[in-house]
Homo-oligomer: A and B are copies of this chain.
Amino acid sequence: MRIILDGMGGDNAPEEIVKGAVEAIEEIEHEIIIVGHPELIEDELRKNGYEGDRISIEPAYDIITMEDSPVKAIRRKTGSSMVIGLNMVKEGRGDMFVSAGNTGALVVGARMILGRIRGIDRPALASIYPDLSGGHPGLLVDAGASSESKAGNLVEYGLMGSIFADKVWGIRDPKVGLVNLGTEEGKGTSVTKDAYQRLKKSHLNFIGNVEGREVPNGVCDVIVCDGFTGNVILKLTEGVAMSVFKQVKNTITTGMKNKIGALLIKKDLYALKESFDYEEYGGAPVLGVNGPVIKMHGSSSAKAVRSAIIKGIPYARENVVDIIRQELLKIEEDDDADYSI
């Protein structure tokens, strides 16, 4: 397998990207092709003491930055590491594309260059959502590829997320939950009500509506919502968790007697905070396009890059894209389950 890695995308490119690739290559039997400015990438490979032959370089002299407008960037920056990398997957010169670059551009690029899977109305960007009660994180779909969704889109998100959680994470019969404003059937907007009925009729392991209160407690493996809600959930979770940590820290470092307590537990609290950092679970997939694409966080460290590469491999190896394609065909043939939009 040839993994195509965007050497120039993200806040810490190319340093952490290349370092992550060097760390990953030791643990896998595949090839990594880093797309980017050859001299810069070579420099980094040298710094990291890499002398093997399973990491190679595909030259790309342009970069899509975080400030670039997604559609314009994909159309105009044809020499960028992102466009070249996606084209390599399209042309069969690579089996998977991994990038920490501009999220919007990656989603648009995946859609424009690789194309939508036939039967999928809207590809989605998934995100790894922490289980604050300590279990395996969930997959939140859509994390913001589209700001508005129809009921059929939500069903697609559930289907694609379910296949990914099964094949890539090894969670058998993953639990699919629909974010809604109440747990009872019949609650919500016209879109969520309709989606509820379709998910209920589907062969997915649909556990019903999930309220905001339950979202952080790992009640389901696939968290289905429209991209607007998904964006609010991801950012609010981060905001609330960070605020509470800050208040706890202020509380335990205020006052004489507490300073003693603070010293004693500081280390453990730091470890706890780290546990919310789920770099070890890898990147998040762009789902519904004709090829495996993995999005890493923009500020990914080498550790996160290493993890996104290694954990992402089953996305390509298990032919998740083909399975999604087949499941959609099955659904088209099945009169009982209507996924039409």
Contact = CB atoms under 8 A, between A and B. Distances in A.
A265 B252 contact: yes
A228 B188 contact: yes
B272 A132 contact: no
Given A252-B265, A258-B265, A216 B243 contact: yes
Given A132-B247, A241-B244, A247-B132, A232 B233 contact: yes
B188 A212 contact: no
Interface string A222-259: 00000111011111111111011111100110110110
A31 to B, nearest CB: 37
A275 to B, nearest CB: 8
A312 interface: no
A232 B215 CA distance: 9
Contacts of A231: 181-182, 211-212
B251 A260 contact: no
Given A181-B147, A216-B236, A240-B240, A258 B268 contact: yes
Contact of A189 (B217, B228, B254): B228
A269 interface: yes
Given A148-B190, A212-B232, A212-B233, A257 B248 contact: no
Nearest to A269: B251
Main secondary structure of the interface of A (DSSP, over half): helix
Contacts of A188: 147, 228
Most chain-B CB neighbours within 10 Å: which of A232, A246, A252? A232
Nearest to A245: B244
Nearest to A231: B181
Contacts of A248: 244, 248, 269, 272
A246 B192 CA distance: 31
B239 A251 contact: no
B252 A269 contact: yes
Contacts of A211: 231-232, 235
Contact of A213 (B147, B228, B238, B254): B238
A28 to B, nearest CB: 33
A251 B232 contact: no
B181 A244 contact: no
A239 B212 contact: yes
A181 B232 contact: yes
A192 B150 CA distance: 17
Interface string A261-300: 1111100110110010000000000000000000000000
A209 to B, nearest CB: 11
Contacts of A189: 147-148, 228
Nearest to A131: B243
A327 interface: no
A258 to B, nearest CB: 5
Contacts of A214: 239
Interface of A: 132-134, 144, 147-148, 179, 181-182, 188-190, 192, 211-217, 227-229, 231-241, 243-248, 251-252, 254-255, 257-258, 260-265, 268-269, 271-272, 275
16 contacts: A181-B232, A189-B228, A211-B235, A212-B232, A212-B235, A217-B243, A233-B236, A236-B240, A244-B248, A248-B272, A252-B265, A252-B268, A255-B268, A258-B265, A261-B264, A261-B265
